Each structure stands twice: as C-alpha cells, then as structure tokens.
Amino acid sequence: MTLRQRIGARLRPLAYWRTLSEMRSELSQLQRDVNALHALAPAYLGNPLGPQLGGWSVAPSALVDMLAVVERHLGTARVLEIGGGMSTRALTTIMAAERSPITSITTVEHDPSFVDALAGLGGEVVHRPLGELEPGRVWFQLTADDLPQPPYDCLIIDGPLTSESDRSCAVDVLESAVSEACVVLVDDTHIADHGGMVERLEREWRLERTVVRPTYEVLTR
Ligand SMILES: C[S@@+](CC[C@H](N)C(=O)[O-])C[C@H]1O[C@@H](n2cnc3c(N)ncnc32)[C@H](O)[C@@H]1O
C-alpha cells in the first residue's frame, strides 16, 4: 500500500462522518419543510398551487419561520420581495387567506419573461433590468424611491440569481424603504455569503439573527 493509499484509508471514516452529518442536516431541513407545508395547508384549501420543496424556490419552512417572526413582532406586514417565482405564488396565496399576516406584496423582478406571470398573481410587480450599482457590483437598476408603497415591514432577499449579481446591494439601496421594526429573510446563505450580507445587516441596519438555518436566516430588531 502506498503512502497516499494509507493516508486515504485513514481519512475515509472522516469522509463518511461528514456525509452522515450533511445527511442529518438535510433530513432536519426536510422535516422542517414538511411541518411547514402542514402549517401552511389552511391557506391553500381550494388552491393547489402551494409552495414547492427544493428547486429554485424559498423553502416552505423559510416562509413559515419568517411569518412566525412577523406575527410575533409585528402582527401584519407589507412585504417587499427581491426576486420573484414560486415564493410570490405562495405569498399571494397566503395573503388571500382569512386573517392573513400579509397585507400587501411588492416583488422586484428583472427577467421580463417572469414579470407578466408574477403580475397576474395579485401582488404588485416592479420590473427593473440589471445594471452595475458600482463597478463589479451587478444588481437591479433600482432606488428606494422607485418602490410604490414604502415603508415595507418585511423584506425577502432572494434575487437576482447569485451567479449574476451581488445580492448585498440590497443592504446599500433598501434601508430607507423598510420600516424601523422590519423582518428580513435572507435566502441561499449556503450558496454564497453575498458580500457578508448577514453581517452587514447586523452592523449597518442593527438587526439581530433571530432564526438561523443551514440555507436561510431571518433577522429582525
Ligand atoms: C432564486 S430565484 C427567486 C425565486 C423566488 N423567490 C422563489 O422562491 O421562487 C432568482 C431569480 O430566478 C428567476 N427564477 C424564478 N423562478 C425560476 C425558475 N423556476 N426557474 C428559473 N429561474 C427562475 C427569477 O428571475 C428570479 O428573480
């Protein structure tokens, strides 16, 4: 056995341990999502278009965690969503339910092929193409003044795609668009640190990390 093979044999149990711990974490996330779907079910009675597990979408458990913080801290919220899709469909469905914690939804979207479909869901859609906020930092060509109904009490940061943008531009642009007691959901924290976005929200917006999960976080004051 070569030295390389001997080292490989020694390290293999560690690799299995890592895989097992990743599987445990994913299983916990799946359990949270199944529980979240169960909790959201009343809002979906008569409407088969529920939130999706996996894929591009914000996890159902992220929506439930976010709404729980909204209900605890604010009661109801006007929601500003950065990056639309299945989450917009889920949120507009929840908004239509009786005694919903969501009173309005505004979605910022750059892709023209999504805009019409999103606009038909019942919320407001702000279409803005992407551009450079400053050299090398691509985000929406958007200022807080372009948003129709500020201040928003709840902000979801889930766009544009991480591969084509710097989502932390939201921290630079949106502070004046949110209320003093805002709730912020940052999705996809496992894919990229988004320019240290969570730490910047803590430091610059003085928010606290209220819910910390492997793929998303919810912050509030
Ligand atoms: C991470 S996705 C946003 C997803 C959305 N918040 C959701 O939870 O469904 C970021 C961008 O991808 C695009 N997108 C949304 N849904 C998509 C889909 N099913 N397939 C491909 N791109 C999608 C939209 O342009 C969106 O702004």
For residue 104, the CA-to-ligand 1 centroid distance in Å is 20
For residue 24, tell me if it sits in a domain: no
Q: What is the pLDDT of residue 210?
A: 97
Q: What is the pLDDT of residue 128?
A: 97
Phi, psi of 59 (to 5 degrees): -65, 145
Judging by DSSP bridges, how do beta strands 130-134 and 137-140 pair with one another?
antiparallel
Q: Is 55 left (phi over 0), alpha (psi -120 to 50) or beta?
A: left
Rounded to the nearest 5 degrees, what angle is found at the Cα of 70, between the Cα atoms of 69 and 76?
160
CB under 8 Å to 47, separation ≥6 — which residues?
93, 96
* CATH code (residue 93): 3.40.50.150
CA distance 39 to 53: 14
Q: Which domain holds residue 73?
A: 41-220
Torsion of CA 202, 185, 67, 214, to 10 degrees: -100
Q: What is the pLDDT of residue 1?
A: 72
For residue 18, tell me if it sits in a domain: no
CB 139 less than 6 A from any atom of ligand 1: no
Ranges of residues in the chain whose predicted pLDDT is under 70: 11-18, 44-54
CA distance 180 to 158: 21
Q: What's the total number of domains in the chain?
A: 1
For residue 59, the CA-to-ligand 1 centroid distance in Å is 12
For residue 8, tell me if it sits in a domain: no
Amino acid at the residue 11: L
Q: What is the pLDDT of residue 98?
A: 84
Q: What is the pLDDT of residue 135?
A: 94
Nearest to 150 by CA among 132, 124, 129, 169: 124
For residue 35, the CA-to-ligand 1 centroid distance in Å is 23
Q: What is the pLDDT of residue 8?
A: 72
For residue 9, tell me if it sits in a domain: no
For residue 29, tell me if it sits in a domain: no
Digit-coded pLDDT (tens) for 163-199:
889 999 999 999 999 999 999 999 999 887 788 999 9
Number of Cβ atoms within 10 Å of the Cβ of 196: 12
For residue 13, tell me if it sits in a domain: no
For residue 30, tell me if it sits in a domain: no
CB 82 within 8 A of CB 170: yes
For residue 25, tell me if it sits in a domain: no
pTM value? 0.87
Atom of ligand 1 nearest to the CA of 187: 1
Q: How far is CA 160 from CA 1, 114, 157, 212, in A?
A: 50, 12, 9, 22
DSSP state of 146: G
For residue 7, the CA-to-ligand 1 centroid distance in Å is 43
CB 109 less than 6 A from any atom of ligand 1: yes
CB 51 less than 6 A from any atom of ligand 1: no
CB 153 less than 6 A from any atom of ligand 1: no
For residue 57, the CA-to-ligand 1 centroid distance in Å is 7
Show the DSSP H helices in 54-163 as ranges.
60-73, 86-96, 112-119
